[in-house]
Amino acid sequence: MALEVNGERIADDLIRRETSIVRADSPELFADLDPVDAEIAARDLARDRLIARTLLAQQVRSESLAPEVVEAALTGFRPAAGCAWPSRQPAVAGEATVELKLDQLVGKIIGKVAKPKRSDVVEFYRARRAELTIPEMVRVSHIVKNVDETHSETAARHAIDDLARRLSEGEDVGKLADACSDCPGNGGNLGWIRRGEMVREFEEIVFGLEPGAISGVFRTIFGFHIARVQERSRERVPGLEEVYDRIADDLHRTRQRAALNEYVTGLRSRATISQIRGDGLRGNQGR
């Protein structure tokens, strides 16, 4: 059903589009729900977002902006030289103006939120220290010979065995990876990985190696591999100073979101919001 917010209509097709955006942007919110419940939850969240945006837009429409500010914002909308402006030019200008006003309003609201004190950061760190644990990680290089529709099992195994022999004779993993691997480049370096990021067979091998060690040939669903662990980082809890800036930023953003939500809640408490059925009848959704 469509919505009406202080007499302004939010069409049902706009709600459907916003629902799709919500589902795509935040799949983790609906991962544990069955499809019907997930769709209902996503639609409810989409409606809340659209109501909030409409209320904020209504709040700023009566405010004025300097012409040069709007002019600067419209620069990015202009077509290439020699092309005519589309017939939507007034609408585009109006949309840009509302966006600018919204940005200014949101900036004023969240700009009043003070950054957390050091004592706030320390308190958060002490209370959530275990949750900040950095898991065990390894930095890995590898050589792979694929097994697929164009590379047979026998040919791939023969090629990887030959590369294993060359490594045992002292050749460099990185140079062989660039020259011979089916995933060349950067010396075969995969960077830092943590458990759960690679296939199980690969992780079982590399997390069992010490820094500098080179594995034997092993098989995964992709083909045959040889891996070398360059560095290893054991699971650890970071020190306060290591995560201080991240905690402070997260706390600040959380408080800014809370301030904006409180402002929108105040607007909503004074608003008239109705659901509009296909037959045009209204059902009060409450304030």
**Band of residue 87 on the pLDDT scale cut at 50, 70, 90:** very low
Q: Within this chain, do residues 202 and 269 fall inside the same structural domain, yes or no?
A: no
Range of the domain at 189: 137-233
157 versus 93: the higher-pLDDT residue is: 157
Q: What is the pLDDT of residue 62?
A: 73
Lowest mean pLDDT among 63-67, 95-99, 195-199, 226-230: 63-67
Q: Is residue 239 part of a domain?
A: no
pLDDT digits over 6-15, tens only?
Answer: 999 999 999 9
Q: Is residue 75 part of a domain?
A: no
Q: Within this chain, do residues 141 and 229 fall inside the same structural domain, yes or no?
A: yes
pLDDT digits over 255-271, tens only?
Answer: 999 999 999 999 999 99
CA 45 to chain centre: 18
Q: Within this chain, do residues 177 and 220 fall inside the same structural domain, yes or no?
A: yes
pLDDT digits over 189-205, tens only?
Answer: 999 999 999 999 999 99
| Pure H helices in the chain | 12-25, 35-60, 67-74, 89-111, 118-128, 153-168, 173-180, 200-206, 240-269
Percentage of residues of the chain with pLDDT beyond 90:
73
Does position 85 have pLDDT exceeding 60, yes or no?
A: no
Number of domains in the chain: 2
Q: Which of 107, 110, 130, 106 is nearest to 252 (CA)?
A: 110
Q: Within this chain, do residues 214 and 275 fall inside the same structural domain, yes or no?
A: no
Q: What is the pLDDT of residue 237?
A: 94
Q: Within this chain, do residues 161 and 218 fall inside the same structural domain, yes or no?
A: yes
Q: Within this chain, do residues 263 and 219 fall inside the same structural domain, yes or no?
A: no
Q: Is residue 190 part of a domain?
A: yes
Alpha-carbon distance 85 to 79, whole Å?
A: 7
Coil, strand or helix at 273: strand
Q: Within this chain, do residues 151 and 212 fall inside the same structural domain, yes or no?
A: yes
Coil, strand or helix at 41: helix
What's the rounded mean pLDDT across residues 51-65? 85
Does position 225 have pLDDT exceeding 50, yes or no?
A: yes
Q: Is residue 259 part of a domain?
A: yes
CATH number of domain containing 143? 3.10.50.40
Alpha-carbon distance 262 to 5, whole Å?
A: 18
**Band of residue 118 on the pLDDT scale cut at 50, 70, 90:** very high
Q: Is residue 243 part of a domain?
A: no
**Band of residue 1 on the pLDDT scale cut at 50, 70, 90:** confident
Q: What is the pLDDT of residue 278?
A: 59
Arithmetic mean of pLDDT over the chain = 88
Q: Within this chain, do residues 224 and 183 fall inside the same structural domain, yes or no?
A: yes
Residue 209 — φ and ψ, nearest 5°?
-100, 150
Long-range contacts of residues 234-238, Cβ cutoff 8 Å, at least 24 apart:
234/136, 235/133, 235/134, 235/135, 235/136, 236/133, 236/134, 237/129, 237/130, 237/132, 237/133, 237/134, 238/132, 238/134
Cα-based torsion angle of the residue sequence 168, 172, 178, 181 in order, rounded to the nearest 10 degrees: 20
Q: What is the DSSP letter of 214?
A: B
What are the C-alpha distances in Å from 23 to residues 12, 31, 46, 58?
Answer: 17, 10, 9, 26
Q: Which of 172, 178, 227, 167 is nearest to 203 (CA)?
A: 227
Coil, strand or helix at 148: strand
Where do we find the tokens 């089916």? 182
Q: What is the pLDDT of residue 280?
A: 54
Q: What is the pLDDT of residue 247?
A: 97
What's the rounded mean pLDDT across residues 128-155? 94
Cα atoms in the Cβ-side hemisphere of radius 13 Å centred on 184: 7
Q: What is the DSSP letter of 237?
A: P
Q: Is residue 66 part of a domain?
A: no
18 versus 76: the higher-pLDDT residue is: 18
Where do we find the tokens 């296939």? 199
What's the rounded mean pLDDT across residues 146-164? 95
Coil, strand or helix at 93: helix
What's the rounded mean pLDDT across residues 47-67? 86
Q: What is the pLDDT of residue 281?
A: 54
Does position 146 have pLDDT exceeding 70, yes or no?
A: yes
Tokens of 142: 């590898």
Alpha-carbon distance 94 to 60, whole Å?
A: 12
**Band of residue 63 on the pLDDT scale cut at 50, 70, 90:** confident
Q: What is the pLDDT of residue 77?
A: 56
What's the rounded mean pLDDT across residues 45-55? 94
Prediction pTM value: 0.68
Q: Is residue 216 part of a domain?
A: yes
Last residue of a domain, one of 233, 256, 271: 233
